[in-house]
Structure 1
Amino acid sequence: MLRFFQSYFPYQYVSLLGLLLLIRLPLLLHPFPLLIPELNWMIVGEQISQGNLLYRDIWDSISPLSALVYWGIDSVFGRSPLALHGAALLVSVFQIVYFNYLTNNRDLYPDRSFWPGLIYMLFMHISFDCLTLSPVLMSTSFLLLAFGTLIRQMDRRGATDEVFEVGFYIGIAALFYLPSALFIIWAALSLLFYTGASFRQYSLSIFGFLFPFATTVLFYYLYDSLDDFNRNLLSSVFRVRQYSLSDFQSLLASLLIPLGLGVLGFLSLLNRGGRYVNFQQRIQQIMAIWFVIAVLTIGLMPFLAPMVFLSFVPPMAYFTHFYFEGIRRAWLAEVTFLITFILILLLFYQGALGLIPGGELGRLSSLQVKPSPLPGDIKDRRVLIIGEDFSAYRQNKLATPYLNWDLAKYDLKNLDDYEAVINVFDHFRKDPPDYIIDRENVVGKLFQRAPALAGQYEKTAVADVYKRK
């Protein structure tokens, strides 16, 4: 396979994308599990379609541009996991083609080939959850655009005013996935060490980064929702953990091969540094900084799953190329790559299709939507879930703004505060749920504090479920 993609001809893009479709084709014939984050994103898009304002009327920590994309998808397709996967495929194609284009047209490696695109494509299949349209996937596209602009600056004698684009792309990336804002550190260090940027050009880059944020802040200021924006997005990144993932074995198994090959590729450079020109050595250092910044984003991730590590793919793919390039015997490189290819895809298909009966490795069971506690005939009703369990939303709609439990705690876990009780009462009055699923045992205290609500609901035969009279 490496030998086939070693030639650099335009028609190889067709072969590369054909291989991408071939890998994903079995999943079209056998649908894979719906994940809690996917359901969360579809609910956000649905709520915005109904005229609700993110952060004010929808309490969730999703970044605003990602929410707009989910709104657009819901407006056209409704709640459709297939639409999320189709859109993710288009984004993946862009990233693979653009990464391969950059590495070859900017001469990031000594020789031109389709290996960069091939390795990038393979690493996008470390787990089946990477196939959905996640905020990290969309954000990484703009980080790649920032990288492309940055190396264009390095290829010149000095930085130009185009450094504004670098900051702007990172700002857009952060509005898709807020932890990506840390990559402004990557851009600043790269401009400092590897370009002749002046103070004015640094300022342009920072202004480009802040401009999308300033526009968003202005929007929420005009809608008198700046406090909601700050609480549900800016402040939440340091403390909101939306979902619990106990399947660390699957996470480590998914990342082991890409990280291992990336590290081996980086180490192989230490023995062959003289082969590369100064420009290529600077690119290697910039990619190393990218990896370090990506590691720093782990502390800001809202949950742990392979999909949120997609920002690691560019540096891992970049350095892995050097590992295979450094294997002197062509047959050994070919065999090593085929083994890598097979192992990654085996874990990928095991997670998506459950090839091994009873095997849980790669399945991400804790992120899958569980069966609803509500009877199966209850559909399209307004539901409030107090807790992290999203299962009842699969066939029903969200009532009240309390989507994200970590954010809902501001009110629902603070019922000794009079203002919190008033907020909850107002939300119930404006959008009363038909059913309340109380996984955190707060309804009893809520009904004590707001007797008017207690008279509107009654317990059902299902534990912790209340029905509106």
Structure 2
Amino acid sequence: MLSFFRVNSTLQVISLLALLVLIRIPFLLSAPPLLIPELNWMLVGEQMRNGNLLYRDIWDSISPLSALVYWLIDLAFGRSQLVYHAAGTAVAALQVFYFNWVMNVRDIYPDRNWIPGLIYALFLNMSFDCGTLSPVLLSTSFLLLAFGTLVKQMDRRGATDEVFEIGFYISLAALFYLPSALFILWALMALLLYTGASFRQHSLLIFGFAFPILLTVLYYYLADSLDDFNRNLLASVFRVRQYDLTDFQTLLASMFLPFAMGTLGLLSLFRQTTRYVNFQQRCQQIMMIWALTAMVSVALMPFLAPMLFISFIPALAFFASYYFQGIRREWMAELIFLGVFVFTLLILYQGTLALVPNLEVGRLSSLQVKTSPIDQHIRQQKILVIGEDLSAYRNNQAATPYLNWDLAKYDLRNLDSYESVISVYDHFRKDPPNYIIDKESVIKKLFQRAPGLAASYEKTALDGVYRRKADIISN
């Protein structure tokens, strides 16, 4: 397979994109397990389509441009997991093509070929959750554009005013996935160490980064929701933690080979320094800084799953390409790559098709939307789930802004505060749920603090489930 992609021609481009689609066909035809983050994104898009403003009327930590994409998907297709995976595959194909195109057009490797794109496409399939249209996948697209512009600057004798674009792309990436804002440090260090950028050009980079973010802040200021924006997005990067969703076995199994191949590629560079020209060595160094920046971003992840590590893939594919192209015996390179390819697909299809029924590796079980007795009794209703498990929303609509439990705690865990009780009461009055599913045991205290709400609901036979009284619903 490697020998076929060592040639730089149109046939290889078409074959690479076809290979990416073929790998994903099994879970494009039969939907993989629905994940809690996917359901969360669908709920945000649905709420926005109903006229609710993100952060003010929807308490969630999703970044605004990702929410905009999910709103457009809901507007056109409604809740459709297939659309999420089809769109994710389209974005992945664009990333693969652009990544390899930059490598070839800038002569970052000694030889022009499509091996970097092949490895990038393979690493994008390290787990089935990487196939969906996640905020990290969308964000990485703009980080790649920033990388392409930065490399173009390094290929010249001095930096130009195009550095504004680098900051602009990183800002858009941050507005898709907030921890990507750290990559502005990567860009600053790269310009400082490897280009002749002036103070003015560094200022342009910062301005390009700040411009889209300031426009977003202005929008929420004019909507009188700046405090909501700050609490539910900016501060949430330090507050929202859902580590109970983490499947460490799958995380380690799916990421072991990409990280191992990337590390081996990086180590191989230290033995072949004389083979590369100065420009290529600088590109290697800025990719090392990229990898370090991505490692810092791990501390800001709300939970740990393979799809949140997509921002590592450009660096891992970059260095792994050096490893495979540096093996002198082609048959050995082919054999090693075949082993990596087969193992990666086994993890991928174990997650989607459960090839070994009782084996949990690859399944991301803690991240999946689970069935419960509530599904049999409550369907097509406006509900409020108090807790981290959003599974009950699968067949229902969300009511009140309290979508994300880590953010909802700001009100629902602070019921000794008069302001919080008034806030909860107002949200219930504006968008009352027909059912409340209380998994955190806060409703009793809420009803004590707000008797008006207590009079509107009655307890059901289901544990922790409250129903809005029929006479109130009919009115």
TM above 0.5, yes or no, is yes
Q: Quote the Cα distance in structure 2 between the aligned partners of 1:425 and 1:26.
A: 47
Give 1:350-361 correspondences, 5 Å limit. 350-361=350-361
Q: What pairs up with 1:1-400 in 2 under 5 angstroms? A: 1-242=1-242, 244-400=244-400
Q: Find the aligned partners of 1:358 and 1:179 in 2 and give their Cα distance.
A: 36
CA–CA distance in structure 2, aligned partners of residues 288 and 444 of structure 1: 53
Residue 433 (structure 2) aligns with:
433
1:212 deviation in Å? Answer: 0.7
CA-CA distance at 1:377 after TM superposition? 4.9
CA-CA distance at 1:245 after TM superposition = 2.7
Q: Contact 2:247–2:304 at 8 Å: present in 1 too?
A: no
Following the alignment from structure 1 to structure 2, what is the Cα–Cα distance between the partners of residues 165 and 333? 38
3-state SS in 2 of match to 1:3: helix
Matched residue of 1:352: which SS?
helix
Q: Alpha-carbon deviation of 1:301?
A: 0.5
Please, what TM-score do these two structures have when normalized by structure 1?
0.99
Shift of 1:391: 1.0
User: Could you tell me how far apart the structure 2 residues matched to 1:275 and 1:423 are?
Assistant: 65
Listed one character per residue, the Cα deviations across residues 175-228 of structure 1 (whole Å, up to 9, x for unaligned) are 000000000000000000000000000000000000011000000000000000
Q: Specify the code of the residue in structure 1 equivalent to 2:332.
A: L
Any conservation in 2 of the 1:380–1:395 contact (CA below 8 Å)? yes
Task: Write out per-residue CA displacement over residues 52-107 of structure 1, whole angstroms, 9 at most, x where no aligned residue.
Answer: 00000000000000000000000000011111111111100100000010001110
Q: Report deviation, 1:28.
A: 2.8
In structure 2, runs of 5+ residues without a counterpart are 470-475
List structure 1 segments (4+ residues) > 6 angstroms apart after TM superposition: none
Normalised by the size of structure 2, how large is the TM-score? Answer: 0.98
**% same residue:** 67
- Judge conservation of contact 2:247–2:367 (CA < 8 Å) in 1: no
- Tell me which residue corresponds to 1:451: 451
* Cα shift at 1:380: 1.6
RMSD, aligned α-carbons: 0.8
**CA 1:246/1:130 → structure 2, altered by over 3 Å: closer, same or farther?**
closer
Matched position secondary structure for 1:113: coil
Partner secondary structure for residue 458 of structure 1: strand
SS in 1 for 2:2: coil
Q: SS where residue 142 of structure 2 aligns? A: helix
Give the unaligned 5+ runs of structure 1. none
C-alpha distance in 1, partners of 2:306/2:247? Answer: 11
User: Offset of 1:373 from its aligned partner?
Assistant: 3.9
Deviation at 1:119, TM superposition (A): 0.3
Structure 1 pair 243–397 and aligned structure 2 pair: CA distance change class (3 A): farther
Superposed CA deviations along residues 377-426 of structure 1, whole A, max 9, x for unmatched, are 53221100000111110000001000000000000000000000000000
Q: 2: distance between equivalents of 1:409 and 1:449?
A: 16
- Deviation of 1:167 after TM superposition, in Å, equals 0.3
Does the CA-based 8 Å contact 2:178-2:237 persist in structure 1?
yes
**AA of the residue aligned to 2:26:** P
SS in 1 for 2:245: coil
Distance 2:241 2:78 in 1: 27
CA contact (8 A) 1:415 1:449 kept: yes
Shift of 1:30: 2.5
SS across alignment from 1:201: helix
Distance 1:456 1:13 in 2: 62
C-alpha distance after superposition, 1:247-289 (max 9, x if no partner) = 2111011110000000000000000011000000000000000
Letter in 1 for 2:396: N
CA distances 1:421-459 after superposition (whole Å, capped 9, x unpaired): 000000111111100000000000000000111111111
Q: Secondary structure at the match of 2:437?
A: strand
Letter in 2 for 1:309: F
| 1: CA distance, partners of 2:450 / 2:334 | 69
For the residue of structure 1 that corresponds to 2:328, the secondary structure is: coil
